[in-house]
Amino acid sequence: MTRQELFENIKKKQSFLCVGLDTDLKKIPEHLLQEEDPIFAFNKAIIDATAPYCVAYKPNLAFYECFGLKGWMAYEKTIKYLNDNYPDQFIIADAKRGDIGNTSAMYARCFFEGDTQADAVTVAPYMGEDSVSPFLTYEGKWVICLALTSNKGSHDFQLMEDAQGERLFEKVLKTSQNWGNADNMMYVVGATQGRMFEDIRKVVPNHFLLVPGIGAQGGSLEEVCKYGMTKECGLIVNSSRAIIYADKTENFAEVAGQKAKEVQMQMAEQLKNLL
Amino acid sequence: MTRQELFENIKKKQSFLCVGLDTDLKKIPEHLLQEEDPIFAFNKAIIDATAPYCVAYKPNLAFYECFGLKGWMAYEKTIKYLNDNYPDQFIIADAKRGDIGNTSAMYARCFFEGDTQADAVTVAPYMGEDSVSPFLTYEGKWVICLALTSNKGSHDFQLMEDAQGERLFEKVLKTSQNWGNADNMMYVVGATQGRMFEDIRKVVPNHFLLVPGIGAQGGSLEEVCKYGMTKECGLIVNSSRAIIYADKTENFAEVAGQKAKEVQMQMAEQLKNLL
């Protein structure tokens, strides 16, 4: 998917919501556990209920891998279901991968080739250029590089400053612009980072940012938009737990749809500033 | 496995070799492609041939994930085969994972619970404490944290210096000692880093280091030992391609065994300095 197509979808749907498919067998409604593939059954119902209100889905690989073969099967079925039924949805494989060049190339094959292609994969920058660039060789695919994450541990290293006052996350933003551009790279910036979005936008004025951390992690959508929005929106804001686990009864999908709609309506308000 | 047990194995085998199981269908001998599970067939033969000469195996997850379900099945069979037949081998899931706390906890379950338990998992430190600590809650299991990697991209961020001259990899070494200790943490330091091992040992005098990069990547075993060895060895040196792809004929396993034995003999020489 191109940046222009993504922006068109955002305008059409009046939403820049990404629904995080962090599907945990311990948290899904009990009646689904009788299904042959409870993870996929849950995902399918959530997708069908939330698709009108979002532009992206983001399965986090940890939640699939931890169930071994069954988990991978559910992941592949989920991606295939999205590609077959909702081709306008931007699919993010939230994998936070990164390894030496020939190994990152294998990860890129994993997520960008074959029957179960995502549009984007999240990548950790610690190992530098050759760990990221193999993902950038795929036309129409995206790398979403960790910059300033939503968690407490983001303060451990990402804010480290060099002698000139440049912080690690800024160095990541700057350096990685030599590897890709605003048409094939995005960055992860946590919604919990508040006014730091101002600093981020000084370095990457046009790139899309993937913003986790509203909902369960406590970030504010208004603040993110105030400091992070560009004239092409430039934001994909993720919510996982607050939407997909909003209800644990047989109505779970309907309630997830309502929650997604609520967020979409808040986003439509924010998009007025843009149009 | 405890640190003491690992050291005993090293002394017994006169080896601190780890064989990297980076099994690529494009590189394994052609006759194996007729097997039902070529990846596992290759791994089993390599393991049986090299086990006398090494103390650890390190499957890199990228090489399994890129084949989807089949790849995961081969990974699980490989881990089970090692646990069932070679319980004294230290198994490293080279996954370079790391995510927010509740997600890292899922990755930890993936690698440290159930039928296919590894002894250690490699973790990327970019996201800080809560991305690493969930892996440290498992008794007898190890986190191997990226510090100074073997690839060219290691220079992009890992050498960044703060105003006091402390580099990012040093900050990772120091800070992470608040999360774990020499009995449950190791660090990845590339063999290509040469004398940098001296600087590493100033910060972590006793921790085991996992050292990739001899063989295909060009690092020197002698140099690594000269600057990195401790009185408990403190090194697990990995070789992947130079051993497992040394031969592509039906003799591949035998040749891999010979190559592993050659490295083991060089290691025995180095261990003389220690004993």
Instruction: Test A163 with B168 for CB contact under 8 angstroms.
Output: no
- In whole angstroms, what is the distance from residue A100 CA to residue A93 CA? 19
Quick check: B275 pLDDT over 70? no
Share of chain B above pLDDT 90, in %: 93
When scoring B79, B127, B145 by the number of chain A Cβ atoms within 10 A, the one with the most, hence best to mutate, is: B127
When scoring B60, B151, B158, B245 by the number of chain A Cβ atoms within 10 A, the one with the most, hence best to mutate, is: B151
Quick check: A246 pLDDT over 90? yes
Give the residue on A whose Cα is nearest the Cα of B149. A127
- β-pairing verdict for A90-97 and B17-21: unpaired
Q: What is the ipTM of this complex?
A: 0.95
A163 → closest Cβ in B98, B161, B175: B161
- Dihedral sign computed on CA atoms, order A34, A39, A40, A44: positive
Instruction: Test B66 with A107 for CB contact under 8 angstroms.
Output: yes
Quick check: A98 pLDDT over 90? yes
Identify whether B70 is a catalytic site residue: no
> What mean pLDDT value characterizes chain A?
96
For residue A34, give every residue at least 6 positions away whose Cβ sits within 8 Å of its Cβ, in sequence order, or none.
Answer: none
Nearest to A95 by CA among A64, A68, A69: A64
A125 → closest Cβ in B65, B126, B128: B126
Catalytic residue among A11, A77, A80, A96: A96
- In whole angstroms, what is the distance from residue A171 CA to residue A168 CA? 5
Tally A–B CB contacts below 8 A.
Answer: 182
Arithmetic mean of pLDDT, B259-273: 96
Nearest to A192 by CA among A225, A208, A210, A214: A214
Quick check: A216 pLDDT over 80? no
Share of chain B above pLDDT 70, in %: 100
Separation in Å, CA of B263 to nearest CA in chain A = 23
Quick check: A149 pLDDT over 90? yes
Does the pTM of the predicted model rise above 0.90? Answer: yes
Q: How do residues B33-70 score in pLDDT, each as one tens digit?
A: 999 999 999 999 999 999 999 999 999 999 999 998 99
